[in-house]
Amino acid sequence: MDIDNRFNKVFSSFAPLHPEFSLDFRVIDTFSDCFSFNLFSKQKNNSLKTHIHQLDNIVIKFSSIPSLALIITDTSVKSNIAIFISYMHICNKPISKTLYHVVHITSIEAELFTIRCGINQAIDYNDISKIIVVTDIIYTTKKIFDLSLHPYQVHSATILNELHIFFSYHQDNSIEFWECPSHCN
């Protein structure tokens, strides 16, 4: 009797020994100076208006630099339906808009997927050396670099693998995550 083993395979992104989690491959160790988080903090003397002004300046300053990809993401989950959207701007190229609708997904999964798609689209352009991701859920982006076991590790491993390739391509390649709160109390 032949047994069908096609469903018994362990896919690389689900394997606990995924290369991204090995000590000599990890983005957080090998390329720690290539990524940064810019958080909005109500506790600092930083007002929301000041933070938004900083984001505006980034867009103005970098919109004419052809080696920069600006990715803006947003997600919304209502009645078990997630809508996530990603905009990508690269100088002298049309702004790309990607919209997804998914059922039965958490907002964290939606945000990680949206960031993953934005990064993937940006690194498809060979001349991109800097990626700026603007999101309203910055704690989610920090999960990308959290190597402990968590339910979103599949997304993290995939994003980290893409970033490893991107950072390995040139030593000056970088990514910045900027928080843009959707509301502030």
The CATH number assigned to the domain holding 132 equals 3.30.420.10
Task: Put residue 180 in one of left, alpha, beta given phi > 0 → left and psi -120 to 50 → alpha.
Answer: beta
* Residue 110 covered by a domain: yes
* Residue 131 covered by a domain: yes
* Residue 9 covered by a domain: no
> Across the strands, what pairs with 99?
85
Q: What is the pLDDT of residue 46?
A: 59
- The domain in which residue 161 lies consists of 34-179
What are phi and psi for residue 108, nearest 5 degrees?
A: -65, -45
Tens-of-pLDDT digits for all 185 residues of the chain? 555 544 444 444 444 555 555 555 567 777 888 888 887 776 655 577 787 788 888 888 888 899 999 999 888 888 888 888 889 999 888 888 988 888 888 778 888 888 888 898 998 888 999 999 998 888 878 878 776 766 777 778 888 888 888 998 888 999 999 888 765 43
